[in-house]
Amino acid sequence: MNRPNPTIPVLAAVGAALTLGAPAGSAAEGLALEEILVTAQRRTQSLQDVPISIVAMDQQVLEMRGIDEIEDISLDIPNFTVNTFPSDSTTIRLFIRGIGQNDAQITQDPSVALYLDGVYIGTSVAAGFEGVDVQRIEVLRGPQGTLYGRNATGGAVNIITRRASVEGVEFRQDLTVGNLDKFQSKSMLNLPLSDSVAAKVNFNYTERDGIAKNRGPGEDFMNEDRQTVVADLRWLAGEDVTVDYRFERARINDTEPYNQVLTDPDLSTGLIAAAINYNDDWDTDRIAKPTSQRVIPSSDQDIAAHSLWVNWQINDTLRLESITAYRDLDSFSPSDFVPTGITLAGDAPVLGRFETDFEQWSQELQLQGETGNWEYVTGLFYYRDEAFQDNFLGETLGECCIVRTTDTENWSAAAYTQVTWHPAWMERRWHITAGGRYSYDERKSVRNNQGAIVPFIGMYDEDFTQFNPSFVVAFDVNDEMNIYAKIETGYKAGGTSQRSARADLFADGFDPEEIVSYELGFKGEFWDGRGRYNSALFYMEIDGLQSSIQTDPVSPGGRDFLPSDNNEVLGAEVDMNLLLADGLTFTLSYGYLDTQLGESALTTDLGLSEVLSDNLPYAPDHSVYTAFDYRRALGPGTLGVHLNYGWQDDVGTSVTDNGNFVVDSYGLLGASVSFSEVPVPGAPGTLQLLLWGRNLLDEEYGLSGQTALQPLGADETQIFGEPRTYGVTATYAF
């Protein structure tokens, strides 16, 4: 199979490796990059020692980049893409190395696993929540099948927050104001209740006007209205036992994205294009003030979660951890897919009113230990969710109040082990790791679709088992450099579609998605610790790719999944940090992807055929991120300056040829200036003032797009990203 030659990343990796082997030169005495600690392998390690392509951002980095939620880091990490679902601004889609969940459904597992303090988040619905007192975000690129209890064919995102502490009273208050009438308040109070018990409470409140002003009835598009309360309790139950409990309650009342029609309605070839008028709100440039044809309401999403962690340090070399979690989501997500379109009936053509109830329970037991030249992690994982989605109040071409429901119940059990051997020979420079994960998944669904071309009530009930091995060989070239080679496998359970438009496709469902990844990595420090260079070359093979296909000829919501085999991904990643001078740091990251689908068309025994596009969706060929950071003492405090630029290539949005909308390449410039650690006379704390701006050049860019509404005359629609945003954040903390 002919492929473009990835000359740039290969030469970058080889050239940098040769450079690292050269003498460091004259570095200023005492200057060195700070060590980055991560928990990607379930134990605290230096990022440089972990044989994974990983990017970690600590609290200071998140603050200076103005990152509040997962969507904000999409351009900051090459080969990592985040965007919102077309019908719901709080339902996110995560893609790593081209692997992701293009059609977010309650009946399908996400390809990229999202964890909050080790707790797996089982649905993409309302997953675009704001982080509360986030200590660090880790993005693990590539399959993570043997260290985590849940499926992760594309990778994993770990959000780590700060727990309650018995060390002393802590308080922090952040107030932010910005354009679009943004107002945000973040409050944190940590109180030791005794020598062994502490409590911590966080409260976040965010309001922001929409990025598209609605001249029609109802709200603007992509308003933000969010409240979150998190209460943490820590109990030092014994010298070696720590118990942490957390309760979280979040309310989200955001509004939907604006799906803007890009193609000239007069040239549309849709089946019923003449029945719909888009002329009043049609342009290829971003429309700042569209006019909806009916009321745009706010969403209503309520999240309640309980989590319990028990850590027992059995002895100096053995630790047992239990993670118990429950999460409940009640969601009402309204969506007018083309709200500016006018039908003969006088309103918009397609209306969604999705009500979703989702409950999940999970339990994980994990044992970590070491003995002699061996380290090991082994665990058991149990997960169950129950969900119900109803679109009874949805409309297509004025037809309302038809039963369209899906009821689903899934449960999964897994056992996993990873063992690392550090042989005594060659000064213990070799590190050989083997791992395995056995999974059992059971999936049940009932679909009642009275709005289909042929109405039906269908049932689905299937079980899946899978064993996923992994193998890694790492070698420490010297104290500053190491290389690794790994084979990693991943798996995502089969299932069926919550929006199925055909009884036969719903009953047949789809098979598991399987991936095999081969990776070569290099990690090193140079210039006497002032430089850090990490790179990875990888090749992945994917069978059973779960491809979402529109099977309802009129409604874009009628979709089923078809599998495709022999798909390939070739790519590279480079991450470099340089401490150019005291307080001045330069960051450069680059990602390369070449994805190819293994089949030219999907043809099934059930009479369905689809011509496929050439590439995986949301997989940019090239992506780059670069930043400068400067910090120095100034007067009574510390001055901080941050400048960043992220860019990604154009991407397709679908595996099918006739549904593949191309989102153009774009780049965004951001900056911030802070004055921090300023003492407050007569008070115990310090002040910080942060001026920040994102998309400073006011770039008009697309986040996602679709052609699913072509039968209605909207051949291409796109959701635009945020315009220039800026503001100031004042912080008092002690």
Which has the minimum average pLDDT: 323-332, 576-585, 652-661, 717-726? 652-661
User: Which pLDDT belongs to residue 29?
Assistant: 61
Average pLDDT over residues 520-543: 96
Mean pLDDT value of segment 42-67: 88
Give, rounded to a whole angstrom, the gap between the first and last alpha carbons of the chain: 61
pLDDT higher than 60, residue 571: yes
Cα–Cα distance, 513 to 519 (Å, whole number): 20
Backbone angles phi, psi at 508, to 5 degrees: -75, -35
Q: What is the mean pLDDT of residues 337-348?
A: 83
Q: What is the C-alpha separation between 623 and 729, in angstroms, rounded?
A: 30
Q: What is the Cα–Cα distance from 48 to 59, expressed in whole angstroms?
A: 19
Beta strands at 155-161 and 112-116: parallel, antiparallel or unpaired: parallel
Residue 24 in this model has a pLDDT that exceeds 60? no
Range scoring the smallest mean pLDDT among 99-108, 274-283, 526-535: 274-283
pLDDT of residue 276: 81
- CA angle at residue 22 from 20 to 24, to 5 degrees? 85
Which pLDDT score, from 0 to 100, does residue 607 have?
66
| Whole-number Å distance between alpha carbons of 631 and 61 | 12
pLDDT per residue as tens digits for the range 173-203: 999 999 999 999 999 999 999 999 999 999 9
Mean pLDDT value of segment 631-660: 92
According to the model, what pLDDT value does residue 267 have?
72
- pLDDT, residue 551, reads 79
Whether the CB-CB separation of 510 and 460 falls below 8 Å is answered with no
List the domain range (segments joined by +) for residue 131. 7-733
What pLDDT score does 358 carry?
A: 94
- State the number of CA atoms in the 13 A half-sphere of 287 facing the CB: 26
Are 494 and 464 in contact, with CB atoms under 8 Å apart?
yes
How does residue 17 score in pLDDT terms, banded at 50, 70 and 90? very low
Structure tokens at 503: 């009884």
| Mean pLDDT of all residues in 297-311 | 95
Least confident stretch, 24-38, 227-241, 474-488? 24-38
Could you tell me the CA-to-CA distances from 644 to 34, 57, 585, 592 in Å, in that order? 20, 14, 12, 20
Q: What is the mean pLDDT of residues 495-519?
A: 92
- Give tens-digit pLDDT for 67-121: 888 888 889 999 999 888 777 777 888 999 999 888 878 888 888 999 999 999 9
How does the average pLDDT of the chain come out, rounded?
A: 89
Sheet with 134-141: strands ordered across = 53-58, 134-141, 155-161, 112-116, 119-121
- Domain membership of residue 522 (yes or no) is yes
User: Is residue 457 domain-resident?
Assistant: yes
Residue 256 forms part of a structural domain: yes
What's the rounded Cα separation, in Å, for the pair 234 and 116?
17
Alpha-carbon span 204 to 226, nearest angstrom: 8
pLDDT of 482 above 90? yes
DSSP state of 597: -
Per-residue pLDDT, averaged over 33-42, amounts to: 84
Among the ranges 105-109, 599-603, 664-668, 716-720, which has the highest mean pLDDT value?
664-668
% of residues, the chain, pLDDT over 70? 94
Among candidate residues 537, 581, 728, the one with its CA nearest the CA of residue 63: 728
- Look at residue 279 and tell me whether its pLDDT is greater than 90: no
Average pLDDT of 52-64? 90
pTM, two decimals, is 0.90
- CA-nearest of 627, 609, 693, 705 to 257 is 705
Work out the number of other CB atoms within 10 angstroms of the CB of residue 429. Answer: 15
Q: What is the pLDDT of residue 105?
A: 84
- Look at residue 451 and give its three-state secondary structure: coil
pLDDT at 212: 94
Distance separating alpha carbons of residues 75 and 667, to the nearest angstrom: 8
pLDDT at position 641 over 60: yes
One DSSP character per residue, 656-683 reads BSTT-PEEPPEEEEEEEEEEEEEE-TTS
Please indicate, yes or no, if residue 111 is contained in any of the structural domains: yes
Residues sharing a CB contact under 8 Å with residue 512, sequence separation 6 or more, in sequence order: 464, 466, 491, 492, 493, 494, 544
Count of structural domains, the chain: 1
Query: How is the chain split among helix, strand and coil, in percent rounded to 5?
Result: 5, 55, 35
Q: Is the dihedral of CA 23, 28, 30, 34 positive or negative?
A: negative
pLDDT tens per residue across span 84-97: 877 777 788 899 99
1 in any annotated domain: no
The residue type found at 148 is: Y
Q: How far apart are CA 595 and CA 570, in angstroms?
A: 6
> In the predicted model, is pLDDT for residue 609 greater than 80?
no
pLDDT of 310 reads: 98
Q: Confirm whether 2 is domain-assigned.
A: no
Tokens coding 161: 């927050």
Read off φ and ψ for residue 60, nearest 5 degrees: -65, -40
DSSP-assigned states of every residue in 166-198: SS--EEEEEEEEETTTEEEEEEEEEEE-SSSEE
The secondary structure of residue 218, as a DSSP letter, is B
The tokens of 590 are what?
A: 């680059």
364 and 317 Cβ atoms separated by less than 8 Å: no
Q: Which of 264-278, 338-352, 411-425 has the lowest mean pLDDT?
A: 264-278
Residue with the larger pLDDT of the pair 260 and 39: 260
Distance CA 594, CA 537 (A): 12
For residue 604, what pLDDT band results from cuts at 50, 70 and 90? low
CA distance 126 to 293: 26
* pLDDT higher than 90, residue 539: yes
The domain that contains 186 carries what CATH number? 2.40.170.20
Residue-wise pLDDT tens digits, 150-178: 778 899 999 999 999 999 999 999 999 99
Q: Which residue shows structure tokens 């491809």? A: 547
pLDDT mean over 643-663: 90
Contact 398, 343 (CB under 8 A): yes
Please give the average per-residue pLDDT across 282-293, as a whole number: 91
Average pLDDT over residues 620-642: 96
Mean pLDDT confidence for 529-554: 90
What is the mean pLDDT of the segment spanning 327-353?
87
Beta-bridge partner residues of 268:
none
Which one-letter amino acid corresponds to residue 337?
A: F
315 occurs within a structural domain: yes
Q: How far is it, in rounded angstroms, from Cα 370 to Cα 376? A: 6
CA dist., res. 538 & res. 65, Å (int): 29
- Cα–Cα distance between 684 and 681 in angstroms, integer? 8
- Counting Cα atoms < 13 Å in the Cβ hemisphere of 168 gives 4
CA distance 442 to 462: 6
Q: Is the pLDDT of residue 605 over 70?
A: no
Q: In whole angstroms, how large is the CA radius of gyration of the chain?
A: 26
Is it the case that residue 697 has pLDDT exceeding 70? yes
Q: 17, 433, 86, 380: which is closest to 258 by C-alpha? A: 86
The pLDDT > 90 percentage for the chain reads 63
From 345, 339, 335, select the one nearest 397 (Cα to Cα): 345
